[in-house]
Chains A and B, each alone.
Chain A
Amino acid sequence: MLKEAEIRTFIDGATNYFEISAQQSATVGSPYLVTDGNPGAYEYTGVIGISGARKGIVYFTAPRGMLTVLLMRMQETDTSDENIKDLVGEVANTISGNARRDFGKNFVISVPVVIAHQVDKVTAPHSRSYVIPINWRTHSAKLVVCLE
């Protein structure tokens, strides 16, 4: 179960990422709770395993269009599938790592695991997940937080 302040930590992490990396603000929709164990995914997903004081996963999932434009905003000209996968993992890693500012060093994060082109392979370890919708330019993405 996440407290409101803990959800705020992830919202701030997501908006900060776009503000700094893309130099362009993203807007965040109202977070909502999914209780069927299926928070959903887009074409590319970067999954971070969480261990230590909290257990579960955090994932960032986005369509190729958003990730391609984000790469270009970062002055990256190589928009190959490899770099798109690299980026989605890096976004998930950065938002999760930044959360340690509030959660502390015992919020232990794994290296990213990237799932591409296999939306049905993206699953949550528990039935309850919080979904934070992210809108940037014309694109939509999600940050999913599933912690015990």
Chain B
Amino acid sequence: MNAELKPSLKLMIVDDSNIIRRRIERSQQIDRLEVVGAASNGREAVELFRRTQPDVVTMDLTMPEMDGVECVQQLVAMNSKVLILVVSALADKATAVDAIEKGANGFLCKPFTDRQLNDALEELLSEA
């Protein structure tokens, strides 16, 4: 299927850092991804997810109110087809494995380059 004919996908960004949220929005260069919202903690993310029904989510793990792993579980419970890329500084293998087991589809370690972000999103979308 030609990429131009593929329907656009809605992206939600979840991170407690405003500069990381803005960075992901600015840096992602994938034409068919449209940012529909950003949340600064897991609880906000769950509410925003209900309202905007995104197809793709970037998810921080260490956040106030509700952490990323619990949020991943709640989002997957609402829509098992959502694609979730965890973007976190927690670099140990056990954390990545845990996030994947809870329903995330990919893991990108902070800090990241624009290229690493886009490669990770492309890889995630290849599963769609």
Q: CB within 8 Å of B: which residues of A?
A: 16-17, 20-21, 23, 71, 74-76, 78, 82-83, 86-87, 89-90, 93-101, 103-105, 107, 109-111
Q: A83-B18, A86-B19, A111-B64 are in contact. Are A93 and B113 (CB under 8 A)?
A: no
- Residues in chain B near residue A90, CB distance under 8 A: 17, 19-20
CB distance from B66 to the nearest CB of A (A): 12
Q: Please measure, in the bound complex, the distance between the C-alpha atom of A27 and the C-alpha atom of B54, giving whole angstroms.
A: 42
- Residues in chain A near residue B22, CB distance under 8 A: 76, 78
Known: A71-B19, A86-B18. 12 other contacts (CB 8 A): A20-B112, A20-B113, A21-B111, A76-B23, A82-B18, A90-B19, A93-B89, A97-B88, A97-B90, A97-B91, A98-B89, A105-B94
Q: CB within 8 Å of A: which residues of B?
A: 16-20, 22-23, 26-27, 62-64, 88-92, 94-95, 109-113
Please state if A20 and B88 are interface contacts (CB–CB under 8 Å).
no
Q: Please measure, in the bound complex, the distance between the C-alpha atom of A111 and the C-alpha atom of B89, giving whole angstroms.
A: 12
- Residues in chain B near residue A111, CB distance under 8 A: 16, 62-64
- Residues in chain B near residue A20, CB distance under 8 A: 111-113
Please state if A89 and B111 are interface contacts (CB–CB under 8 Å).
no
- Residues in chain B near residue A76, CB distance under 8 A: 19, 22-23
Q: Please measure, in the bound complex, the distance between the C-alpha atom of A94 and the C-alpha atom of B91, giving whole angstroms.
A: 9
- Residues in chain A near residue B94, CB distance under 8 A: 104-105
CB distance from B120 to the nearest CB of A (A): 14
What 5 A-B pairs are tightest by C-beta distance, nearest first? Answer: A97-B89, A101-B91, A100-B92, A94-B89, A20-B111
